[in-house]
Structure 1
Amino acid sequence: MNKPGRTAAHPSTKRALQEVRIIGGQWKRSRLPVPDLPGLRPTPDRVRETLFNWLGQDLSGWRCLDAFAGSGALGFEAASRGASEVVLLEKDRAAAQALRASAQRLCAATMRIEQADALLWMRAAPRGHFDLVLLDPPFAAQLHEGALQAALPLLAPRGHLYLEAAEPWDERLAGTAGLQLLRHSRAGAVHFHLLRRREGDGGTTTLAAGIHTQQGASE
C-alpha cells in the first residue's frame, strides 16, 4: 500500500527486488514482490497483524475490496484467510500486472485484479456488496475524504471499513460519515482505523470534513 517513506539508504538498489510476506492463512510466509514505483510502501507486518486480530483470522464468506492495492498486501491477506471474493484496484499498469502474476502463482481463484482508478470504480460499483473495504490511499494525494464517500455505499449492512491515514480519524467525524469507530492504533507516522457502517445508514451521508487532527479512540 502507498505510504510516505524515507529515502532508501542505497538508492542504486531497486525496490522491485523487495518483497512483502503474507503473515497468515493458507498462504502464510508466501512472498509478494513490491514493484519499483515512487511512493509505494506496503502496509507493515505489525499493522496487518493487528488489523486481522481485530477482524478475526477467519474471513470465510467475506467479500472484500482493496481499493488502493499497491503491493496487494492487505488484499492477499484477506484472501489467504478465506475471503470468498477479493477485488484489488490498482491504477498503475506495472503494479496491476505484478498483482495478477502473484494471484496466478498462488492459484488465487477468489481474487480479481482491476487496473482502474479507485474512486471512479467505487462510484460505479453496486451498493451494499462488500463486507470489508480496505482504504490506504497515497497520503499526499488527499484522497481520504473522496475515498470514504465512495466506499460507504459499497458496504453491506454492518460492513467494516479499514482506513490508513497520516492523522487520526476521530469518533465525531466517523459518526458524520455514517461510520462507527471501533479501533484505532498508530505505527510510526501511520494511523490505522477499523470502522463499521452504522445500522440504518443507507450510505448517502456526506462527509462534513476530512481527517481531523484530534486523537481518536485508541487501544
Structure 2
Amino acid sequence: MPRRAPARTSMSVPSSRKSGNIRLISGQWKGRKLPVLEVEGLRPTTDRVKETLFNWLAAEVRDAVCLDLFAGSGSLGFEALSRYAGHVTMVEMNRAVSQQLTRNLTSLGSDKARVVNQDARSFLAQPASGYDVVFLDPPFHQGLLEEVCSRLETGGWLQESAWIYLERELNGPAPALPANWTLIKDKKAGQVCYQLYQREGAST
C-alpha cells in the first residue's frame, strides 16, 4: 500500500504519471487494481500486512464507519469499502494524490466514501463525528502518531468501542497513547511495526 512519505508537495501531478497500482484482496472488488500516482517517497505496505490487518478486523469492518486519516493511495480505505464498510472518509493533504483517490472512487461506482483534501491535524481540529474503525499510517519519522491519537481521543472522534490501527517505523520510539486504548494485536514486518488497539468499553 503506497503511502505518503515526509517529502510531500501540493503541486498537481499529471494523471498520466503512474507508479503502479494497489490491489484489493477480498470482498466485492476482490482482485481489482487501482492506479497510484508517482509521488516521491511513497512507501509500500505489503499485501501480506494488509491481509493480516483485515483478518484481525474481519468481524468489525462490515457496516462500520471508517476513517483513513493519512490515506495516501487509499489502500486501506478502499479495502474496507470492498469488505462492505458502511462509510469511509479518506483524508489526504497532497492535492494530486487526493484527486487520484477521487478518480479511483468514481471508477468503483461507490457512494459510501468521501475524499478530504486536508492536513490530518487540520481535519481533527473541526467538529468531530464518531468513527468505529480508524486507520493511522502517517509518514515515518515525523512524530505525528502521538499528537493525532491524542486528538482522536479527546476530540470525540471515536465511538466507545472503536478499533484503531497503527503502522509505524520499527526503529522509532513508541508513541504515548491514550490510557484507555488496549493493545489487541502486535506484529512486525521488516522495518514496520503494525498494531491494533481497541478503545476501552467493549468486550474483546
- Give the shorter-chain TM-score range: 0.7 to 0.9
Q: Does residue 101 of structure 2 align to residue 99 of structure 1?
A: yes
Please state whether the residue corresponding to 1:124 is helix, strand or coil: coil
Q: Give 1:164's aligned residue.
A: 167
User: What whole-Å deviation, never above 9, does each CA across 1:142-196 have from its counterpart, x for those lacking one?
Assistant: 21111211222311011100000113887x954x442100001011001000001
2:176 and 2:116 map into 1 onto residues whose CA distance is 30
TM-score when scaled to structure 2?
0.84
TM score, norm. by length of structure 1: 0.79
User: Distance in 2 between the 1:189 and 1:42 partners?
Assistant: 12
Higher RCO by CA contacts (8 Å cutoff, separation 6 or greater)? 2
Maintained 8 Å contact 1:96/1:114: yes
Quickly say closer, same or farther: Cα 1:3–1:93, change in 2 above 3 A: closer
Provide the C-alpha distance between the structure 2 equivalents of 1:92 and 1:44, rounded to a whole number of angstroms.
22
Specify the alignment match of 2:149 in structure 1: 148
For 1:138 and 1:32, locate their aligned partners in 2 and report how far apart those are by CA, in whole Å.
21
How many residues matched? 188
Q: Which has the higher helix share?
A: 1
Q: Is the CA contact (8 Å cut-off) linking 1:160 and 1:194 kept in structure 2?
A: yes
SS at the partner of 2:141? helix
1:158 maps to amino acid = S
Change (3 A) 1:97 1:143: same
Query: Which residue of structure 2 aligns with residue 130 of structure 1?
Result: 131
RMSD (CA atoms): 2.3
How many percent identity over aligned positions? 38
What do residues 21-48 of structure 1 show as CA deviations (whole Å, max 9, x unaligned)? 0111111111122211122123210111
Q: CA deviation at 1:2?
A: 3.2
| Contact 1:86/1:110, CA 8 A, preserved across alignment | yes
Which stretches of structure 1, 4 residues or more, deviate above 3 A after TM superposition?
167-170
Segments of structure 1 that go 5 or more residues without pairing to the other structure are 5-13, 201-219
Contact (CA 8 Å) 1:42, 1:70: kept in 2 or not?
no
